[in-house]
Amino acid sequence: MSVPLALLGLLEREPSHGYDLKREYDSYFGRGKPLPFGQVYSTLARLARDGKIVAGDTEPGSGPDRKRYAITEDGRREVEAWLAEPIEPEPHLQTVLFIKVVLSLMLERDAQGYLDKQRAAHLSRMRELTELKRTGGVIEALLADHGLYHLEADLRWIETTSARLASLLALVNPLEHVHELEE
């Protein structure tokens, strides 16, 4: 959803060819997921059709990359409105984590063991991101921070859920072994 607007934003900075635009997108936003050329050109075609950008005259040479694209006043307004709009906060109320914990308790599986493994997996990913931050530049640090704060929020949830397993068990499986968890 944000690819067309990100490309539009890059074009507001300066007119560009599709190839250069893709390179710029990949270097800032494409961490591990470069934009396919096909998507770049189809997105540019749609933006041109909708009057957000205009394609300059075809320049001499071969290949598809002979047009230089520039943003229009309409496109500029769209970028401005998008940047001013907060994104929808996502509370993730129905997470897989939550479902796994509840099902583990219902089925009398080891919910605490699952939470411990999940904690270890989260911390392992946090270690990777921390190392990326330590060895990378500012852009890597900003992206890693975003991931780290989200993982940290999950971890806090894991800790609190660990502390609440006994009461959760009483709720989902009231007749079964509450005392075992409380011991």
Partner 1 sequence: MPGTQPAPQDILRAIDVHKSFGLTPALQGADFGVQPGEIVAIMGPSGSGKSTLLHCLAGIFPPDRGEIWFDGQRLDLLGEGERTALRRTSFGFVFQFGQLVPELTTADNVALPLLLGKVKRKEAYARATEWLDRLGLQGLGGRRTGELSGGQAQRVAIARALVGNPKVIFADEPTGSLDSLTSEQTMNLLVDTARQQHITVVLVTHDARVAAYAEREVMVRDGKVTMGNILEVTN
Q: Structure tokens of 135? A: 């060895």
122 is a contact residue toward partner 1 (CB under 8 A): yes
Binds partner 1 by CB under 8 A, chosen from 120, 121, 139, 178: 120
Q: How far is the CB of 124 from partner 1 (least distance, A)?
A: 9
In whole angstroms, the minimum distance from the beta carbon of 27 to partner 1 comes to 24
Q: Which two tokens stand for residue 50?
A: 């909708």
Distance, in Å, from the CA atom of 158 to the CA atom of 152, rounded to the nearest integer, reads: 10
159 binds partner 1 (CB under 8 A): yes
Nearer to partner 1, 64 or 113 (CB): 113
Helix (H, G, I), strand (E, B) or coil at 55: strand
Calpha distance 71→55 (Å, rounded): 9
Binding of partner 1 by 163 (CB under 8 A)? yes
Near partner 1 by CB under 8 A: residue from 127, 146, 150, 177: 127
DSSP letters of 100-160? HHHHHHHTT--HHHHHHHHHHHHHHHHHHHHHHHHHS-HHHHHHHHHHHHHHHHHHHHHHH
Please tell me whether residue 101 binds partner 1 under the rule CB under 8 A: no
Q: How many CB atoms lie within 10 A of CB 111?
A: 23
Judged by CB under 8 A, the stretch of 18-26, 44-52, 94-102, 114-122 that binds partner 1 is 114-122
Pick from 14, 50, 116, 182 the residue near partner 1 by CB under 8 A.
Answer: 116
> What residues between 134 and 153 interact with partner 1 by CB under 8 A?
134, 148, 151-152
Number of neighbours of residue 143 by Cβ within 10 angstroms: 17
| DSSP 8-state assignment for residue 59 | P
The encoded tokens of residue 7 equal 């490309």
Assigned token pair, 161: 């859920």
Is 14 a binding residue for partner 1 by CB under 8 A? The answer is no
Q: Does 119 sit near partner 1 (CB under 8 A)?
A: yes
Chain residues binding partner 1 by CB under 8 A are 116, 119-120, 122-123, 126-127, 129-130, 133-134, 148, 151-152, 155, 159, 163
